[in-house]
Structure 1
């Protein structure tokens, strides 16, 4: 993951995503650099328009959660409500975490 982050950081800074630059960013972050991974990343991103990929990823539809089935008994309703509340909290936490990542790159 840190290799991709290095490429995104370089792109955001307007620098060339090259082996030397990716290696420099990773070294500055204290990551033990594997030359083969750096070469593979740079080769994979060679023909990729990073700005276009970011914009497509930002607007990609998120799969909607399936609707919960109706509880067959009244006793099951409170448990279902608790589960729904917990799931809503998890979704909010994930969304706030993703918003924080978005602030890093744009």
Structure 2
């Protein structure tokens, strides 16, 4: 992962993503750079538009679930309120039966 992070750092500061620059970042982080992994990363990123990949990933991970959870939670709260009102009415009716 650290090699990918190094590439992302280089991209964010508009520097060339090449073996030398990736190696410098990885070594600055205190990691022994693996030349084979760096070469594989550079080869894998050769035809990749990183800006587009980041944008696509951001859209794909947009928080759609919380919206759905809010829509589902609202009816549950209403049901709970109705149940509480019903149990209060039952309790009042039960007390009324004691006194006759």
TM-score by length of 2: 0.61
Shift of 1:52: 0.2
Which residue does 2:53 correspond to in 1?
53
Which residue does 1:31 correspond to in 2?
31
**Cα distance change, pair 26–59 in 1 and its aligned pair in 2 (3 A):** same
Which residue does 2:21 correspond to in 1?
21
Q: Which runs of 5+ in 2 are unaligned?
A: 70-100
Larger radius of gyration: 2
TM-score by length of 1: 0.57
- Higher RCO (CA < 8 A, seq sep 6+): 1
**Cα distance change, pair 30–61 in 1 and its aligned pair in 2 (3 A):** closer
Per-residue CA deviations over 1:18-74 (Å, capped at 9, x if unaligned) read 00000011111111110000000000001100000000000105685xx9xxxxxxx
Provide the alpha-carbon RMSD of the alignment. 1.7
Runs of 4+ in structure 1 over 6 Å off: none
**Cα distance change, pair 61–14 in 1 and its aligned pair in 2 (3 A):** closer
Normalized per residue, the structure richer in helix is 2
| Counterparts of residues 79-98 of structure 1 (less than 5 Å) | none
